[in-house]
Structures are given as structure tokens and as C-alpha cells.
Amino acid sequence: SVNPPVNYYKNNDATQPPLVKWRSHANLLFINWLNYFVYQATPYEINEIAKLGELKV
């Protein structure tokens, strides 16, 4: 049997719901990803936008 990580449950009691401490980190990761791919990588010249259709992501 595999033991759960330390401090996964409040007071290490498996009858308690797990603590959710990663939500803000996940939100920051998603916002940074969105910022890069939507705002930083999007070309601002109208002629460059046509090239986006050629990208295979």
C-alpha cells in the first residue's frame, strides 16, 4: 500500500478532505500560458496573421 504524501490531509488525517494548496499555482501557470500564446505570440501586422494558419501545433 502507498502512503499519501505528508500534509496532504489536514493534520494528516485521511478522514478529512485534502488540502487544496495548488490552486493559486495552477491559476498562475494557466494565466502565464495564456498571456504568452495569446498576447505575446500573436503578430500585430495583418500580413503576419495569415502565417498562423500554416502552424501545426
pLDDT number for residue 26? 92
4-41 burial, b at 16+ Cβ within 10 Å, e below that, comes to eeeeeeeeeeeeeeeeeeeeeeeeeeeeeeeeeeeeee
**Distance of alpha carbon 14 from alpha carbon 49, whole angstroms:** 52
**Distance of alpha carbon 25 from alpha carbon 23, whole angstroms:** 5
57 residues of the chain, pLDDT tens digit each = 788 888 889 999 989 998 888 888 999 999 999 998 888 877 677 666 666 666 665
pLDDT number for residue 39? 81
- For the chain, the domains span 10-54
